[in-house]
Structure 1
Amino acid sequence: MNEWRGKNIKILKKFFSASNYLFLFVSIISLFNVFLLSLPLTKYLGYEYSVLNSIFIVLISGIYTIVLLNNSSAEKFDIKEVSTKFITSHLIFVLVPIIISLFGLFRIVTCPFIDGIKFYTVLTLPAPIIGISLGLISFNASRKFKFPIFFGLLIVICSIPVLEIYFNPQIYFYNPLVGFFPGTIYDEAIEIDAKLIVYRLINIFYFGLLIYLLLQFLSRRSKYSIKTIMLVAVVLPLILVLISPYLGYSTTKSRIKKVLDKTLVSQHFNIHYASGIEDSLIKTIALHHEYSYAELRKYFNETPKGKITSYIFNSREEKGELFGSSNADVAKPWLSEIYITLDNYDKTLKHEIAHCFAGEFGSTIFNVADNFNPSLIEGIAMAADPIHDDFDLDYMAALAFNHGYKIDIKKLFKSFDFFLHPSSLGYII
């Protein structure tokens, strides 16, 4: 009995020893998830919790893969042994956040646990496959510069949605690191649909194929050269990027104009809308555009250069499909564009146009507040359009203050602390 216990303890010690770094990586993931439980948006198992874990596990999995391969013998590379270590360690990586998230259930249950499991399954479970693949690519590309290559690959993957959002009429994106981002973190209509599942299956197939080919190459069983494998690694994603608008994974101007197929040109706006909207209504909406423009010109004593492009969507569903952010209207100051839902135009139109005015003295390539400070970005638009749900902002702020909903203004305007408060309260204050 003592011999059996001693043998098992020896195996566990070897498994979690400092030499294979597994215990260190598990500890880092654990601390990260404990920290997530302290934040308002990630204090339970839901969309945000799953997305942040996906990003973090890709990072940890890639680094761990490189460390594991670095400690493996090149002459006696055992593909079975390495595969077993990959499966075991990365299974632990994805189980730790689930276990820690259970503690969040004892404090608050605002998101059904089953929905959280669905998000975690689709968004987070593929993360180790992606991380292992990127680690293998980096290790095989250059043993000397494996870590710079790994982080370079992460930067490339992160840059694709940035370019899509910057140049295309969209704010949503599909990306291997996060799965899907709907456009705003306050969008509560996020759900798992067939398109997202198919996208994640494509991710699993592509990165899984690379893992297979690269492990075969390391074990000297592959009939393909490393150049051929790297060519596959580059060509397949490029093909997906090119056809993504046709699959619904990105939106180009030509795609959006096929749906919003009519245009009304006014003095300061190019308004794109669907042919189903009555002419009398779109003329009324155009008058609202021009009236808001006139008021904002007086407020800012400044006007945007050129006309503002306005996209009017028939429904939230249509807007979510083509642009993203189905429940929130959005402006892109750097493109001088606004995106409005038809049934909401009278509530948000002036606010979104205000962002385009503010863009004239914004900074960075996005023409927004310095350091992307969300309190400044939204604060200037709220000040220019000081009505919230048909009430004056000062009145709403006084109600909040008198009923104990108080926010430290200095903290609110510090960095990204805006997102640490309830959205409605942050906008009002």
Structure 2
Amino acid sequence: MKTWKAITRRVAEFNLTRTYLVALGACALAAVVLSFVPLLNLVGYESAAFFGVLAGLLSTGLTVADARRFDTLDGRALDFGRLALRNLALLVAPLVILSLNGLRVPNCDWGAGLSFWGLIPVMAVLLGTASAWMAVTLLRGSRLSYVLAFGLPLLDAAGLAWHLATQPPIVGHQWFLGYFGGSIYDEALAVPLSLIAYRVLHALAIVAVVAALDARRRWQQGARAGWTAALALAAALTFAVGFASRQEAGIAIDRDHIVAELGGVIETDHFLIFYPQTRAWQSMAPLLAEDHEYRYDQLKRFFGTDPVAEHGRKVRSFVYGDRDSKGALMGGRNTMVAKLWLHDMHILWRGTGDRMLTHELAHIFTEPFGSGPLRLSMQRGVGVNMGLVEGVAFAAEWPARELDAHQASRAMRELGIAPDLGALLGASGFWTQASGRAYTLMGSFVRYLIDTYGIARFKEVYGDGDFEGAYGKGVEVLVGEWERFVDALELSEAQREVARYLYDRPSIFAKVCARTMAEWRRQAADASRDGQPAEAILLLQRVLDAQPDLLWAHLEQASALAQMGEMDEALDLLRARQKLPLSPVERAELEALMADLLWKAGLASQAAQSYASCLEVGVPVDLERSLQMRLRYARREQPRARSYLMDTPGGAMAMYRLMRWDEESPDDPGVAYLIGRRLWQSQEWGEARPWLERAYGSLGVEVLDAEAALMLGQVHYFLGRAQDAQTLFEDLSRSPLTRYREEARQWLDRLQWKRNSIENGER
């Protein structure tokens, strides 16, 4: 009995109350549950964010409750330290459980995972303890202590929500959550430098508060407090300096900061376009403005709405120079964003005709018939209907691809990889699918509804998701109609295999170490581009150690080995992969790389045979063009061709090699095609024209002739030769190749828009 009383007294001294033990159990139970939830089931960003919120809130409540019960807090730094250690113990069981779960599910980067845990839940517990300790110290344990202790982090959470809603960034920071990563489609994630800077500010704030309150207690008791007051002042001043420059560190970036960083601005009839103020971008500015205005007119015709005229405010378009700058300024390296309630969109622009501009602008055109404060599609007023939100943007964009959305949907259904369309109509069902499948299927369904029943009825259903009210039919009936429509389309075996290659991919929730793998792949690509293939090989080996069957990792590792001159080792690696099961397109990818290595080794005839076998199956258009050009010259064993196609450096040296090649083969349309393509990519329209004219219609391969026609038509357009462009695009619009046919129709529409603009005196 005496022993039990001693234990009880000891527990009381450390405030290990029943409530605390329940909280400890709750954290452990949560970890057990999360062990079966993808992304959250390992020591990484998602689990760190979850326990940052849970443990932060529990620490806050426990500190206030125990302080009021035991009445021991009077501002002593020692009390804060004791409570902080006790509250940090809440994280021990979850960390152990999720670490042990690493024996069941792969955890590829313990260093990054533990770093996230140190920066998010550990700091969240310290912040929760500090806010509660400050509240009970200042308010002497009154009930208002709860209001102050919880009010501070809740106000911070509200501030983050307000910032995300009213400012450009889709990422942000919050006391307990730590870092909000924005789009789930940006899989690559390392510990952000902004999160480190954010937590440094928090550490300074905690030191300042603890030292200041301890100094206050000492003064009240008549003791010396000079050093604690000095520490509080130093920490507070350092915090103030850091807080003033927080945007440079990537924290709470606002619109004004982004505008200043980009530097360039164009105002048109419907847009304020902010773009990088560099010489290259300034030369493209007129085309950038024209492309925006054309897309606006195109979508106005599609939707029958004019959001600028309706609201009297122009669309703000933020155009970023590259993925890295976009990620640093507003988040989402790979995700384009439209905040339609703000009339803002954030994009990368790869030149006139870039369809992503259309997609994001389409979101803004839906604002007049959306609902709720964000003007989105709602499910009877509850929850956002992401299937319709993204589906209508895809339907309006209607990208020119090897397969249009209807054909791709037909193929996915036949291959058994199409998710249930009804599930995609909800927010969670849409995001849990791989983006390629979800966007394409919903784009096809929405385009079918608009083409069959008209845009007016779709506007009715978009606001609240009431299909019965808008169409007089339930969603199940409409889905059945769409299924019969796409199932009636005819597809070749080659098209099915291209669809399998493009769409049979797992979502982020089904991937092994999705965040880490994507980050390693990004780093490896950067290393190869920067001439560091050995570093790329090491990174790719980490990927393969975690998941040995990833074909892309083997291909990229072989390419890096070849970059180092290790041809035999690269070929052995690829030959080993040949023995494993692969889809026809995957096998073509592998054999194409093997053929490249054989050609580099001087075995042109073997390379030609491999290129030819790759082309016997259906492959994506970009790969087909590359294979056809390589096959053309491998058969001829042309040294100049091998030198250019296999080992081309960038810049002037590439053009030098091409011009020397042309001197030796002045009648070769393939060389003219390659020179014209280089000049077209550099937007040297006048210089590109004679070369593309020489190549056009002379290559003898359908896909290469179609590409030459498309480039030459664009050159004529940019040079103001409208009739020549019209003729070329009309011929190309009858091409059997879906991608080029759709591209040509878009350019014909653009030509007509430009004529109308000139006739109306708008340009």
Cα distance in 2 for partners of 1:292, 1:354 equals 9
- Determine helix, strand or coil for the equivalent of 1:174: strand
TM-score scaled by length of structure 2: 0.49
| TM-aligned CA distance change 1:120 to 1:428, over 3 Å | farther
Structure-2 residue corresponding to 1:57? 55
- Alpha-carbon displacement from aligned partner over 1:4-45 (angstroms, at most 9, x marks no partner): 9x8998789879998342221112112323333333332322
Letter in 2 for 1:356: I
How many aligned residue pairs are there?
420
Change (3 A) 1:352 1:101: same
Structure number with greater CO (CA < 8 Å, separation at least 6) is 1
Shift of 1:112: 2.4
Map of 1:162-311 to 2, 5 A cutoff?
Answer: 162-214=161-213, 243-276=245-278, 277-279=280-282, 281-305=284-308, 306-311=313-318
Return the match for 1:72 from 70, 83, 96: 70
- CA distance in structure 2 between the partners assigned to 1:399 and 1:8 by the alignment: 72
Q: 327, 337, 341: which one pairs with 2:344? A: 337
* TM-score when normalising by structure 1: 0.83
Distance 1:388 1:107 in 2: 43
- Aligned pair in 2 of structure 1 residues 216, 33: CA closer, same or farther (>3 Å)? farther
Q: Do the aligned residues in 1 keep the contact of 2:299 with 2:362 (CA within 8 Å)?
A: yes
Cα-Cα RMSD = 3.7
What is the CA-CA distance between 1:240 and the residue it aligns to? 6.4
**CA deviation after TM superposition for structure 1 residue 74, in Å:** 4.7
Q: Could you say if the C-alpha distance between residues 111 and 235 of structure 1 is closer, same or farther in structure 2, counting changes exceeding 3 Å?
A: same
Which AA in structure 2 matches 1:299?
Answer: F
Task: Return 5+ residue gaps in structure 1 as ranges.
Answer: none
Q: Deviations over 1:75-109 (max 9, x none)?
A: 9998746743431x223222223212224424433
1:189 and 1:327 in contact (8 A); partners too: no
Superposed, 1:380-419 pairs within 5 Å as: 380-387=392-399, 391-419=403-431
Letter in 2 for 1:262: G
Deviations 1:184-227 (A, max 9, x none): 23322322254432321111221243244446767965989xxx
Matched, 1:19 2:22: no
**CA contact 1:17–1:23 (8 Å) conserved in 2:** no
Residues 164 and 41 from structure 1, CA distance in 2 versus in 1: closer, same or farther, beyond 3 angstroms? same
Letter in 1 for 2:370: G
Instruction: Determine the C-alpha separation between the residues in 2 that align with 1:15 and 1:96.
Output: 22
Match of 1:377 among 376, 389, 395: 389
Query: Residues 119-158 of structure 1 correspond to what in structure 2 (within 5 A)?
Result: 119-140=116-137, 142=139, 143-158=142-157
Residues 136-176 of structure 1: CA distance to partner in whole angstroms, max 9, x if unpaired?
Answer: 23334541233333332222101222232333332222332
Q: Which has the larger Rg? A: 2
Provide the identity percentage: 23
Q: Is the Cα contact below 8 Å between 1:388 and 1:428 reproduced in 2? A: no
CA contact (8 A) 1:133 1:208 kept: no
Q: Structure 2: which amino acid aligns with 1:190?
A: L
CA shift, 1:316, in A, is: 0.9
Alpha-carbon distance in 1 for matches of 2:275, 2:269: 17
* TM-superposition CA deviations, 1:211-246 (whole Å, max 9, x none): 44446767965989xxx9xxx999998886654335
Q: CA deviation at 1:303?
A: 1.8
Following TM superposition, by how much is the alpha carbon of 1:388 offset from its aligned partner in structure 2, in angstroms? 8.1
1:118 match: 115
Give the counterpart letter for 1:329 in structure 2: M
In structure 1, C-alpha distance between the alignment counterparts of 2:77 and 2:291, rounded to whole Å: 66
Provide the rounded CA distance (Å) in 2 between the counterparts of 1:280 and 1:389. Answer: 29
Q: How many angstroms apart in 1 are the aligned matches of 2:417 and 2:288?
A: 36
Which residue is equivalent to 1:38?
36
* Equivalent pair of 1:55/1:177 in contact (CA under 8 Å): yes
Between stretches 323-332 and 25-34, larger displacement belongs to 25-34
Query: 1: distance between equivalents of 2:76 and 2:244?
Result: 38
Residue aligned with 1:405, SS:
coil
Structure-to-structure mapping, 1:94-109, within 5 angstroms: 94-109=91-106
Cα offsets for 1:296-321 (capped at 9, x unmatched): 22232212123211111111111112
| More displaced 10-residue stretch of structure 1: 105-114 or 323-332 | 105-114
CA contact (8 A) 2:53 2:124 kept: yes
**Residue identity opposite 1:284 in structure 2:** L
Distance 1:23 1:419 in 2: 37
Contact 1:58 1:130 in 2 (8 A): yes
Instruction: Output the amino acid matched with 2:175.
Output: P
Pair 1:121–1:422, CA change in 2 (3 A): farther
Q: Secondary structure at the match of 1:325?
A: coil
What amino acid does structure 2 have at the position aligned with 1:115? Answer: A
Worse-matched range after superposition: 168-177 or 21-30: 168-177
